[in-house]
A and B are shown apart, each in its own frame.
Chain A
């Protein structure tokens, strides 16, 4: 029978997906469950510069060996450039050269680091402390700051603690605010500690957050105390947990140097993978790495997001065909859920409701202008972007950083949503518009919750063949002719007699 052959085909599809996944599991040992112990960070530095047509030379300081991270591999090959790693200085440096380069150049350095809390590196003790030279009014101010704190401090650690705390106290003391006019916070704190004869230095480190792209290094202060370097974040004080922080530049004076280029900048992208040590070693040996891990990191981060979409689509199919929730626009909820993955759920929901609500009000004014559809949507795109801009600026002013996350929403999708909601409002009444709006939000939140499950994110990226199973489920649901859950409620008057 036709229906059974269809079911059989779907089941076969799912079996193929499952089979390939099982074979790959046996072959590469990629774990089925997300295993927090074996996180591998892939970090990519991207250097952009405009070469001026003379011999070009680029030096990038490389992260030192440090606690908590075990270096697995590194590559820096970039087309047209010679690449070596320079070990001669205090810190390793990547060295790219090209005889003649002109125009836009992009260089990549990529390293894989295993996050391993057990990994310890003997700290390199500091050399002799060089007293900095504060001059004029700064010297007096520095002396006064230190004199105020030194009696309370018993050692390097307590002095550093108090100094960082003083720099965070508002209002600032007059002396500190004077000093901060002359120097950035991190170098200033280091200099003050040096002044007091304590070994301290300004370092640059990279915050590791899953899937971040185009990040910069931030300044931190390291203080030598009791045979170890303590790390201070100027905004928050001493950092004990450095698992999410990769020291990049400690001894060298600069992060990168460019000769023969201009308008250069370096940005960092990162992504984490979960793989077993066995899988790692096999992948390293294989000449053809045909998994998604072979892609540049920025693209990998994109794919991690994109590959959760089919799961979201499945959730929409379930909610519409099995539950019977009405949504405005078929797959708009998945795109909203995708945005929620990048914002946070609460911030995303508040932002979404605010923008759609405000745009809807403006849309009612637009309907009085009698515009044609294309012009109407285009107007709404402009309105939505204006609203998003205002919301981002206002929330940032109010100190709500999460307000900025609103920019992750796809603007054109938002504009379409507003248009659909308002047509619904006019044609079917406010009730129907609210039902469908709330339904869309509910489905979006459900899709978000499923797409955000660590297991789902892990499997969808590491075992992409499992999407065949998702596809099979969608195909099967596409032929479901039974009742929807909400229809059992809707049609209950029809059942009462025989019950």
Chain B
């Protein structure tokens, strides 16, 4: 393989670079005033609840030290939950509790955790240890997602999620993110998670990428990655598409998990979604974004926007 691609070649294939994403799409279609809606998960949850977008249920949130002291009774009856900072980044400060062992809690990886440790984590979260710029933060206790069994053989560690790029309400590209041992089970592509490109028409796997390199098998489970097909695909796209109506962010990345019982749930949103999704899908974003822009009038309903995506974005996918 060549070390360098010719710029004309990339342009022809509609590949979008960071400069173009930042200037033409992120600053062109995203209103800065709406960023807190996606950066603060508590605000996201309130917004989603109002609009009826399903998310992992908020059990409890706290922002003051005296609430930490009272957490004892709040957690007494819970055995499966996740604690995370509302404005955290990079997966820091997240604690996944998958069960109980008498007075103790058991983490996702089997480690036992005491109430003292949980209180210390909560104190750290609200004092801003994990938030950007060290601002005061709130801690969120939400219900644990049961990953869909179809992912059990494939992923290592945490729950895989599906990133959908939504442009002006149209789902234009999607990618499944699987944890690896290199990423410590996290579905974070920067840390070495696997991204599986998904055909936005069908939810069928089309290719995969790890650390910006194309792969065909999961590096740890050795499972083939091109046979994946996400169930309930139109429903998942509808969920993603509705995020635009709530946030009015024109260029948006929606992270969706599939719960074994509840189906697709919105996990979080991102106002500057990354570009590795293009490599996973083996194609550029630009032509799809232009296909959306070429629609004279934007379809008013979620169903029409999703139908346009399922139909192949007016021929832009092929």
> Residues of A at under 8 Å CB distance from B?
321, 324, 370, 372-374, 426-429, 432, 479-484, 487-496, 498-499
Contacts and interface: CB of A to CB of B under 8 A. Distances in A.
A432 B190 contact: yes
A488, A490, A491 — most chain B CB neighbours (10 Å): A491
B9 A495 contact: yes
Nearest to B123: A370
B13 A495 contact: yes
Q: Which of A324, A481, A496 has the most CB of B within 10 A?
A: A481
Contacts of B1: 492-493, 496
27 contacts: A324-B18, A426-B90, A427-B89, A428-B190, A429-B190, A482-B17, A483-B15, A483-B19, A484-B17, A484-B18, A484-B19, A488-B5, A488-B10, A489-B4, A491-B10, A492-B1, A492-B4, A493-B214, A493-B279, A494-B10, A494-B15, A495-B2, A495-B10, A498-B9, A498-B13, A499-B2, A499-B6
Nearest to A485: B4
A372 B7 CA distance: 46
A481 B23 contact: yes
Nearest to B214: A493
A499 B1 CA distance: 11
Contacts of B278: 491, 494
B195 interface: no
Interface stretch (B125-133, B220-228, B232-240, B243-251): B125-133
Contacts of B9: 495, 498-499
Given A488-B7, A492-B4, A427 B284 contact: no
A499 B92 CA distance: 42
A496 B24 contact: no
B17 A372 contact: no
Contacts of B19: 321, 480-484
Contacts of A374: 134
A490 to B, nearest CB: 5
Nearest to A478: B23
A498 B12 contact: yes
A324 B22 CA distance: 13
B2 A427 contact: no
B32 interface: no
A496 B214 CA distance: 12
**Which size bracket describes the interface of B in this complex?**
35 or more
Given A482-B20, A484-B17, A494 B284 contact: yes
A483 B17 contact: yes
Nearest to B4: A488
B3 interface: yes
B212 interface: yes
A494 B2 contact: no
Given A370-B124, A372-B134, A428-B190, A491 B279 contact: yes
Contacts of B190: 428-429, 432
Nearest to A487: B17
Interface of B: 1-7, 9-10, 12-13, 15, 17-20, 23-24, 89-92, 124, 127-129, 133-134, 190-192, 209, 212-214, 278-279, 282-284
Given A321-B19, A495-B15, 18 more contacts: A370-B124, A432-B190, A480-B19, A481-B17, A481-B23, A481-B24, A482-B7, A482-B17, A482-B20, A488-B7, A489-B3, A490-B279, A491-B5, A493-B1, A493-B214, A494-B278, A494-B283, A495-B2
A482 B5 CA distance: 14
Contacts of A492: 1-5
Contacts of B18: 324, 484, 487
A372 B128 contact: yes
Max count, chain A CB within 10 A of own CB: residue among B5, B92, B127, B190: B5
Contacts of A479: 23
Nearest to A429: B191
**Which of B4, B17, B213, B279 has most A Cβ within 10 Å?**
B17
Contact of B15 (A321, A372, A426, A491): A491
A479 B3 CA distance: 27
Contacts of A427: 89-92
A85 B127 CA distance: 67
Given A481-B17, A484-B18, A494 B90 contact: no
Contacts of A321: 19
B178 to A, nearest CB: 18
B223 to A, nearest CB: 21
**Which one of B6, B24, B192 has the greatest number of beta carbons of chain A within 10 Å?**
B6
A494 B129 contact: no
A164 B187 CA distance: 73
Nearest to B209: A493
Contacts of A483: 7, 10, 15, 17, 19
Contacts of A498: 9, 12-13
A380 to B, nearest CB: 13
A321 B19 CA distance: 7
Contacts of A426: 90, 92
Contacts of A429: 190-192
